[in-house]
Every structure is written in structure tokens, then in C-alpha cells.
Structure 1
């Protein structure tokens, strides 16, 4: 008798441990479905036992003879399938006197499948091993067939060995039917004991797993080997019965999705399956609806769903092409409007839905109108009676209400409505046909309000979902959050690949890159990024959702002397905010950015104008409460008045609100705008303290190398002489001087020397 360790077979660990006691047994009983190694184990027993394999199918007289031999003291080893109706086998098993070794054989685990393949000379890669294990469910006989030259053909004998009812049952399950006795009985015309026997027989040959599903490789072989006419008849019967019961048909449709020809009679099946898959698998829905189109179904039946599916998978160009098949219909208008909105064309999206009907159309239009200044129209749309028929409708309405409230109501109420919509959408855990994600809308409003912790909580929840087609937008908003709060390294890490971004996201990405370069004091990098940023800006109309990137670009334009590039867009922004009544939710951050731009450009009247707006919203939002005192400081700094205590308080308020880079910059700029050396010392200490508490940010003060370069500049050395002194190139010296000048806000070399003299000679 050979041991399992030296034999070519591989055993499950539980079976292997049990088999180690075989020499202690008087009798051996092996049970389990076909293909799980019972015959191989019997072959190791030698001559000690009277062996009978497949005892469940053995003739009655053979089993009766064994029973008599057991009574006379013979040792017997029996292997049988767990489901049997052989009375003589039951008598034999009852006659076995202890000790009896009873072993239950079953599928192998993944590690044992790997050992089995290795012993046959095949050591597959992990991906192929996983595929073999998944396809065969670990059944040893099926593993051997799976790696054979003809895996499908090799299953012919397996299927031929069972009855007709069992083959039709397995075929029905392979086509996607659930293991439902009533449904299968009606569809197959098999009921009562015959159906029970068919299920038991299918399990006895390992065709069905414990959960009732067909082993994948068996299902594939069964579909391929079945007579096409029988397969079609079974499929029709199943579809008819499941539709009659109102049950899903997606599984049935999926089983014939890759058939070379989808017949006209299958069109309804594909349409129904497409509607089902649209809820959670838009990629699969596209395939179903494409099959329906190939079968000759008219566009009005498949195009609306196919267009929605393309939007939900991020294929906006494809969605527009398909929506054109049903141009002029409400469904086509909704899809087109969503695509326009996702590309930043909110006004056009709202106009397109002027005559569309349905709750989804009203909510999309209301969002577009509210975000583009037509808030009264948005309010009228939301006043219409609304009865939620599904959670997505509730999400859309909450989003529209949140955007409208951000213009006409309390900022916190608006943010609460949008966060609630984001939570509901997250619970649904599927893409929705909306102009934006509720998470993105809520996060963007939170950034405008200075509510950085809620924004982080919203964005972190979707950050780890790469399958989400809105991932790029969420990452870009996270980058802007880091930019505002001064964590520049994290902002750079959050930026997605710029290739393939839609226009709306391209503007956010360009503004973030410009903002990072500006905060690093690298004017050359700002200039390098400006071309892409300007093109992105030209491609986007101004609405409430473009104010964040527009503000960043306005400051950079002032720094580069290219105010004319952003002036028209800013005029549109002020007109938009004026039509909205200058809501606190959206006005504070744009006026802060515009004030910074005016400071850079030396436009004092504009500084005072933006200062007035910021003071007006001092107590309306968290951001307004932090920025108003800082605006007070800046308004006096431009006139050369520096009150250290006031600057200290305002800078610390900015820092506490999360605006750490702005806090450091305020203290630093105050230091270089006063001639009082005691004040300079105190303000630089404040700037350094604030910078020390800003993880991952640009400090806003000179680095050690920059300080060395600055000292030599004051000595009057040329760039080449400084380079020779510090063992660096003249080009590197020029780069350091450029960064120093922009950190100090010096407009030319004369001002730079004066600023450095104030700082380094104290």
C-alpha cells in the first residue's frame, strides 16, 4: 500500500490526516461526489480489503455478497457517492463493525491544486492558478480536465454519465437560472421526485457546488456541448418563467451574451437585462444593450439606457453619440444635459432641459440654473410637487436644494443638504446619472466655507474607490483642499494624471499646478504652467463651481503681469455673484484671491473694494471669520502701517482655521513692510513659528542656502562670483535669487537689496 505522500495524488489536509489512520481500521468507507479522489485512495489499499468502488451503482447481488463476507469477518473498503438510492448499500454500511475509518472526500483547496499541477509538471503563474481553481472549484478530476488539450470535449463523458433530466437541469443552471425547485420544475417540465433526483445526481458528479451554482468549467462545457435547439428551448422556457414571476433575467442573458448571433427573439431578454445591469454594472449594461441593437431592436428601446451606461462608465463622447439616436426625446435630453454639465457647461445643460419632463430633468436643470445665477428659475423648478420613486431621485433633489440654499439660504443648511445627499449616494454604492457627484459638490462648498474637516471626511471616503469614474474630480478637489491648508506635498501627490481629463477637471488640475508653483516662489514654473492653465480657462464658462480655480489663476496672472488673461472671466464672476446677491457661501474665497491679486499688482482701490466685501461676510462663514481680520491687516499693510499685535492675532486666526500658508505669508510680508527692527524681529519669529507648525508646506522664510546667497548678494557679488564662492553654477544662483525675490514680494533688484538689507542686517 503506497502512502499519499509518495503517490501521485494530492489530498485535502483533512483527508490526509484521516488517511494516516487507515492501518488501524477494520473497514474503510469513502464518500463524496465523483472526481474527488475516492478511486485513487482505494488503489492504495493493496490486498488487505475487499474493495468496491462506485458502490452506490453496484448491483444488489454484489453488495449482498459483500455483506455476507463482512459477517464472516472480511475487511471491506467501500467508496460511494453521498446521494444514492441503493437499499443494499445501506444494508452493507450498517453491517460494518468498528473500527471503521470514514473519510469524506471533497474539492481541494488552492494550495493543493497548486501541488497537483506541480506534480504533473505544470507550475502555473499565480493568475493562471487562480483561474484554474475558480473554474474547477478545486475538484481534482476537473483540474486534470482543465489543463488537458480539449477541456470542453473532455467533459462529454461526464455529462453523458447522467440522466436526461439531470443534463437539462445542469444546462438550465449553466444558463443562469437560480436553483429554485418551483421555477425549474415549471420551466423544465420536471417535478417532484424526478427533480429532486436530478439535483442529487448533479451534486453527486460534482457539477453543482454547495451553494447551488454550477462549477464554472462544467457550465461552460454544458453550454458548448448542448444541442443548440435544446439550449434555445431551455433558455426560452426559463426567460418566460422568470419574467412571469418578475425575477431578474440578467444571469440568463449573460450566458448567451457572447453568442455569435443574438436572435430577434432574444432582444427583449437583452433589453430587460440591460435595464437590470444599469443599476450596478453599467459596463455590462452596455454589452446587453449593444446586443439588443444588433438583434434589430429600435433605437428608442435601447439607446436611452446605452447612453446612460456610457455616462456612468465615463465615456462622455460615446454617450453623446448614442443619445443622438434618440435626439428630441426627454431621455436623450437628460443624458446630453448630464454630459454638458460634467464638462462644465451648466447653463447649456439647464437650457436643454427647459421642456423635458421627469424629476431627474428638473433636478439637473435646477442645479444648472442655481449654479449659473438663475436661482429664481431653480426655485420654481423645486417648488413643483415631488414624489420620490427611488433613492437616486432623492439624491438629485437634495443636491439641487443644497446648491440653491447655498445661494439663497444659510451656508450651513446648504452644506448639510449636500452632505446628506453624499451619504445617501455612498450608501447606494453605484454611479448615478447626475451632473456632478454629491460628494464633489459638498466638498467644493465646504472648501469655500473653510470647513476643511468635513471636506476631508467626504473625500477620504471615496478616495479608495478606483472604480469610481469621478475619482479624478475627487482627487483634484482634495489637491485644492491641501493647497488651501498649506500641505503642498500632499497637494502634489493628490493630482491625477492630466491626460484625458474633461475640461472641467482640466481647469482644476491646471489651477492646482499653478498654485503649487506660486506658493513655492518659482515664477519660472508658474510661467511654464500658465499656457495650459489659460487654455483650460478659455474652455470653461464661469459658474459657481469655477470660482475656486479662477481665484488661483487670478493671483498667478497678477504675478506674471497677465491680468488681461483673466479680467473678462473675473468680470463675469462678479456679475454672477451680483445676480446671486453676493452669497457668503461663494463670495468669500473669490474676494480673498482677488485681494491677493490686487496686492501683487499694486492696485490699491481694488484692495479696498475686496476688503469691504470680506468684512461684510465676517461672521457668515468659518472662512469669512478667519479672512476678515487678515484682510484688515492687508488693507493697512499696503499703506505701510504695521501693528505687530494685530498681525500676530490675524495670522494665528488664519493658522487655526487651516490656512497655514496664508498665515505664514501674512506675518512674513508684514515683516518686510516695516522699518522698525524690533517689529521685524518679532514678525519673523511669528512667521517661523507658524511655518514650523505647518507640516509639508513651503516655509515662507529663507532656506539655509537661500540665506547664504542673500548675504553674498548684499555684498555686491555677481552670480558667477557667488557660484564660485558656494561651488554652484551661476544658473543655480539665479534660480535661488528668483525664489528669494518672490518670497519677499520684491518687484525688482533694487527692492530686493533693500528687503534683504532690512532682514539680514538686523
Structure 2
């Protein structure tokens, strides 16, 4: 067989063949093609490969393979022969006894075969399969070691389009003789290398029970096989062979022993122990290893951590001994049912370990389910400093300000100011500030708390996150950019694990909705449908679905979503942190004439807010939702009450002036009054804060209420600009007011407009509104005349602007 050589090696080999002087050595690990190279060189030199004895050789060239396997007597004969003939000797770099070292030192030329390049690997592949992808695969698996390349190339199956290349079983089977010939210590080192030990010499000394010098010899012996690279790592194909051919119990024992040694050193064991899952390995040492690996996995992979704790129990650890920790892992992985079952078992068993830890786990799970009172009780019972901070949050959430302050005052600041403790303190202080202090200070505290928690929050079980609470405050306060930044960073950091991942995503979707990007909001909500939603998340999801449907004028979806809203409200008690969705539900209820379904929850919300002193920051969504519900129901007095409340808040904090000004415009519209300057200013204020849909809707609705043609055109253009739509060039005639037709649209006409722009036929609109298709056509004709539209497409464009994009009423 002709060796595959690069240009430099080929020229070197040719020079050695033509130069009859000097001895030659070929030194490389197993699999590097020494034998192929030696036979080729022997053929060129016209010599045979000798196997001994060597004392009677009279050839001009003596070619010897595998010199590392010869005994001292044979090596002495070769050394004597070197005085009368030319030697060409091949050997592995280990073992190298003194006699072999002396023999190899005689060589004037040394050949050191190198691994194949990718191009050389490609040349070894079967004809028709010499692709870049397959060459890359074979080179990666074999490290370019020629003998292993040949094994893999010969055993590759036929090409199957669309399938990923795999190492055949037949290629791995060819490693069986080599593994069988390995010295026991060398095999143990390779098993350790498979576990990822590498060249951790201190660990290897203890593992192999040899001194450092002996360990060095073992490593060199392993390298000489070609199965191990210079850094002590197995080639990928060698690792596959060991895992396929070495009994699993031997590999498991090695990993368990390494884990014991690592634990004794205080080292990490997750990488060692993870492959033991499912092997059935047991005993105290295995249980300890599984438990340590579970603790290590918790911050990065809670689901894996839970499986490792379960394996510790299977290996013999008493279930209650790790139940609290396993409950925490399950909770962080999103399995709140499993976490609550285990935590309750621990809490109710006086002899169980970590009962207070289990109480904290149960408290967090209950908070996600809206059970803030029970959650606060458990946090208080846990007695930890974190528990006191979380209990304070829960008590504020249910409106118990006095108890919340008392518990917060009991929290100690004696411990070290870690990122976690500092973040929790800021979160608690920020929530209290949002109730009794200034909104900007509260929001600042939440932002700082969220930033502190980002590096460490992935593995911390939280009842809520500062990012989520901060986003709520920012949404209430009209700071959408801040809200968006908080949830985006929390999603990227994985703050709070799986229980809070959905909450952060829902808040992101809420922001998308109020910005007017209804299609994106609907897509984001659809992406979450496969996830299990806890009651708090479900309430937000239903409110988003209602909000998107209402803004889009999709009455069918609005009706379907409302059926879910009733159950969602029953599953989640009213608390401070669900004021935002309640405000959205108020508008939907008014639109569907279902106000009675919300009356009890509204009473609870108002009582809760009253107990907290009616903080404007938390009450604003209720005022805003109540205003629009009153607009739909044409209840001017109720609308006026909500606007007055917003104006009182604006007197203390000008940021609330944005919604107050918009609210005042809505009340004026109810009375048939349109101040174009005030409406445009209020609309632009809402838009600047990020409330694109509300801004455009206000301007568009005002355009339907004015009888001033110039004002109508101006407000329509304002609405379109706020929606990011182009404004068509218009010429508004300068004529006496009396000659301008009135453009005010009636409530019925607005209802017809919403359904028409949603794509319904006149017959479908008539069926929905219990009027004839002819009457619908009459309404459309009147709207076209009043709006001065020259075509149906222009009419539809103007109607979309008037009722929202793509349209909503209420």
C-alpha cells in the first residue's frame, strides 16, 4: 500500500531512498502509518522487513518494524548490525528502554509521520463520497490519525441524503483487540480521560495509586497508542469505542471513584456524575456524588438537578433528606405541583431536614399561583432574611400595609451585602416606595435590583422578580422603554428560572400590544400556548388576548377569550399585581355588556387600593380602564370621576398628566366637544410614552366627532402619522363653515365601521348587529359621504384610522 504523504514528506522519503548513507528511524504512536511507510521504504530500497534474529543479517539495508516490542538481546544485535549495514527502524515513542533509546540515537535521519490533513482524509474516502462535510466529519472523529481514518472510511455506509454522518459499529469493533492489549493502568487512565480528567496529575496520582513519575509513564503509554492526544484527551472515535466496548459497570466505577476524589478536594463533580444517570449505580458513595452534582446543576439546569436528586434517592439516600432541595429544583424547572407535594411533605414532618427551606419553596410556588396571603405566612414561618423580604412583598400585594411594614422592619441587615441580598432589599424597598413614596424613586430601585440580580438570579427561586415588578411599575407610569428594557434583560439572564420565564415573556407581549403591534403581540402569545400557565400568568395571557382582539376589532375572539376570563379570575384572587390586567378586563366587559361579572373583583381591587392609601402609581390602570369602560357605556359621570382622579395624581406628579390630559379629551368627546389642539397634544403625549394604539385611537375618534372639516383632516393625519402610516396629500377647501358637511359618526356607524374593516361582508355585519345588509350598505354610504372619500379603498383606509389599526372600539 502506498502511503499518503504531503509534498514535504514525499520529498524527504525520496531523498532517504536515494541516499544510501545513514541510519533512519520512524517514530510515531500507533495508527500513524509507520508500518505502511516502512514497507514502502523497504520496497524502494529493495529490502525485506526482518523480524529477527539479527545477528546473521548480511543485507545492505536492515528494515525492522515495531522495535519497541523487542527485548534487550534483539536490540543489542541490532546495535551490532548497525556497524556493518544500514538500519531503517520503526518504533512507538513508548516504551523506550535504554537499549532502544541507544539504538534510535544512532539514526542520522528521523521520520515522524503526522496526522492527515482534511485534504488527505478526503483522498481516503470512498469514490463518490469525497465531500467537504464528510471529510470534516472523519477528520474530527479520528484527529487525522491515518489508521483510524482508514477504519472509518472503509466501514462508512452508503450515503443517505438528508441524514447526518455517524460512526458505524463496525469501525468501533476494530478497536477491540487494541483495548484488550492495553495494560490495566493505561486502560484506567483512558477511562479517566473519558470522564474528562485530562492531565490533572494530582487526581491521577490518587486514582491510579502511583507516584507522579509512574503516572507520567502511564500517560506516555496511553499517548503511544494513538488513542490519546497530547493534552490527555481521547480522540472522539476512541471515546466512542471505549463507551461501546468497555463494560458499563467498569466505566461507572471509574466515574464514581473520580467523584469521590473530587469531593474530597472540594472540586466539581457534575460532569463526572451526569453520565451515571440511569445506570442503576447505588451505594452511599454514589448517593453522595449524585447529591453534590445536583447542587452544582441547580443554578444552570434545575431539571437536571431534580433528576440527580432523584438518583441520589435511588442510590440509597433517605427521600426526606433531600426532599426540600429536590422540591426547589422542581420549582425552578417549572414543576410547581411536584415542588408543592414534596415541600408539604417536608413541612409536615417534624423530623425532616430543611423544613424551613421547604417552606420557602412552597411559599414561592403559592405566590406564582396568586395565593399571596398563604405565601406570606410560609415565608414568615421560614424565618430567613430572604423570607421576611418576600413576605413583605406578598403582604403589600394583598393590601396589608401595616403587616408588610412590620415584617420588613424585622429583616436584618447584619449579613454580608451580596448581590442577591442587596437585590432583594432594593426590590422590597422599591415596592414600599411605589405605595407610599415617589414613582421615580420606586422605579429606580426596581431597575437597580434587577441589574444586581442578573448575574445570580437564574438559580434563585423567587415569588416575583424585580424586573417583572419594575416592568409593571413602568407600564403603570407610562415608561414603556424602561419596562421593555427590564423584561428583555430578565429574559436574556433567565432570572428566576422557568417559573418567571413565562411571566417575563407575557409582560414583553403586553408591551408589544400597547405599542400597537397587534400582529406581533398575537404571535408572541401563540408561542406561549404550549406552556403550562400558572393562574397569575393565565390571567395576564387572557387579558392580552382580550386586549389584542379589542384593539383589532375581532369580536369573535373577544367573545371566546371572555369565556376564559371568568375562570381565570376565579383561579386568581385579586391582588396589587393584577391591577393591570383587571383594567383591560374592565374595557372588554363593557364592550361585551358583561360588567356584572367583574363587579366583585373591582370592589376587591378598590378596597385593596384604599387600604394602601390609593397610590396613584398602582391605581392608574384601573382609572384608565374605568374611563374607557364608561366611554363605551356612555356614562359621563363615571368617566368624569376617573378623569378627576387622574388629574389629582397629575397635580402631584406631572408624568401622570399624560393620561390625565388624554382622559380629559375623552370626556370632552363624550359631550360632543373637540379641541383639536388639546387632542393632538394628548395623542402625541401618549405616543411619546409608547402607547401608540391609544394615541392614534384618540386622534381618530376625535376626527369622527368634529364637524370642522379642517380639524377632521388634521386629526386624521395625526392619527395616521402616529400609526406610522403615510399621510395622503389633501386640499381642504377654504369655504364657509355652513357649506361643510357634518362628519360626526354615530355610535352605530362606528360599530358598522369596525366590522367592515375587519373584513366582514355586509350580510355578516347585519347578522352580527341584527340589522339588514341593506341598512349596513346605507350606513357605509353615509360614512363615505361624510368623510369625503372618493373610493371604497380610501374609505376603508380612513375607517381603519378612525377605529384603530386594524380597528377597535372601546
Do both share a fold (TM > 0.5)? yes
**1:545 paired residue among 567, 570, 577:** 577
* Superposition map of 1:355-370 within 5 A: 355-370=381-396
Change (3 A) 1:414 1:44: farther
Match of 2:794 in 1: none
Match of 2:282 in 1: 262
1:337-364 Cα deviation digits (max 9, x unpaired): 1112223333331123231122332233
Contact 1:648 1:686 in 2 (8 A): yes
Shift of 1:547: 1.8
Contact 2:270 2:297 in 1 (8 A): yes
Change (3 A) 1:235 1:399: same
Shift of 1:635: 2.4
1:103-148 Cα deviation digits (max 9, x unpaired): 4337x76x987886x539999998x999988876665656748945
1:568-610 Cα deviation digits (max 9, x unpaired): 2222222222222222332223321221111111122221111
* Superposition map of 1:218-233 within 5 A: 218=238
Structure 2 unaligned segments of length 5 or more: list them. Answer: 18-23, 46-61, 153-165, 349-354, 728-742, 750-755, 771-775, 791-810
Match of 1:8 in 2: none
* Superposition map of 1:327-476 within 5 A: 327-328=347-348, 329-383=355-409, 384-386=411-413, 387-388=415-416, 391-428=419-456, 430-461=458-489, 469=498, 470-476=500-506
**1:479 paired residue among 501, 509, 514:** 509
Contact 1:622 1:657 in 2 (8 A): no
Structure 1 unaligned segments of length 5 or more: list them. Answer: 5-14, 696-710, 718-725, 742-747
Change (3 A) 1:114 1:662: farther
Contact 2:455 2:493 in 1 (8 A): no
1:413-446 Cα deviation digits (max 9, x unpaired): 3323333333333323733211234433333332
Shift of 1:187: 4.0
Match of 2:761 in 1: 732
Contact 1:312 1:431 in 2 (8 A): yes
Match of 1:307 in 2: 327
The RMSD of aligned alpha carbons is: 4.3
Q: Distance in 1 between matches of 2:488 and 2:236?
A: 37
Match of 1:119 in 2: 126
Q: Higher Cα Rg: structure 1 or 2?
A: 2
Change (3 A) 1:471 1:18: farther
1:186-207 Cα deviation digits (max 9, x unpaired): 3432113111111222222244
Change (3 A) 1:226 1:325: farther
Q: Distance in 1 between matches of 2:7 and 2:616?
A: 73
Query: What SS class does the counterpart of residue 197 from structure 1 fall into?
Result: helix
Change (3 A) 1:430 1:681: closer
Q: Distance in 1 between matches of 2:561 and 2:252?
A: 61
Match of 2:625 in 1: 593
Contact 1:443 1:455 in 2 (8 A): yes
Match of 2:798 in 1: none
Shift of 1:38: 4.1
* Superposition map of 1:144-155 within 5 A: 144=151, 147=167, 149=169, 155=175
Shift of 1:506: 1.9
Q: Distance in 2 between matches of 1:464 and 1:738?
A: 48
1:691-745 Cα deviation digits (max 9, x unpaired): 33599xxxxxxxxxxxxxxx9x99x99xxxxxxxx9x99962355789999xxxx
Change (3 A) 1:632 1:283: same
Change (3 A) 1:619 1:248: farther
Deviates further, 602-611 or 241-250: 241-250
Match of 2:16 in 1: 26
Q: Distance in 2 between matches of 1:694 and 1:493?
A: 25
Contact 2:458 2:493 in 1 (8 A): no
Q: Distance in 1 between matches of 2:460 and 2:669?
A: 49
Contact 2:506 2:541 in 1 (8 A): yes
Q: Distance in 1 between matches of 2:758 and 2:311?
A: 66
**1:326 paired residue among 346, 354, 357:** 346
Change (3 A) 1:220 1:330: farther
Contact 2:32 2:114 in 1 (8 A): no
**1:35 paired residue among 31, 45, 51:** 31
Please tell me whether residue 85 in structure 1 is matched to residue 96 in structure 2.
yes
Contact 1:342 1:436 in 2 (8 A): yes
Query: What SS class does the counterpart of residue 344 from structure 1 fall into?
Result: coil
Shift of 1:333: 1.6
Please tell me whether residue 281 in structure 1 is matched to residue 340 in structure 2.
no
Deviates further, 49-58 or 595-604: 49-58
Please tell me whether residue 158 in structure 1 is matched to residue 185 in structure 2.
no
Contact 1:451 1:622 in 2 (8 A): no
Please tell me whether residue 636 in structure 1 is matched to residue 668 in structure 2.
yes
Q: Distance in 2 between matches of 1:635 and 1:17?
A: 88
Change (3 A) 1:447 1:162: same
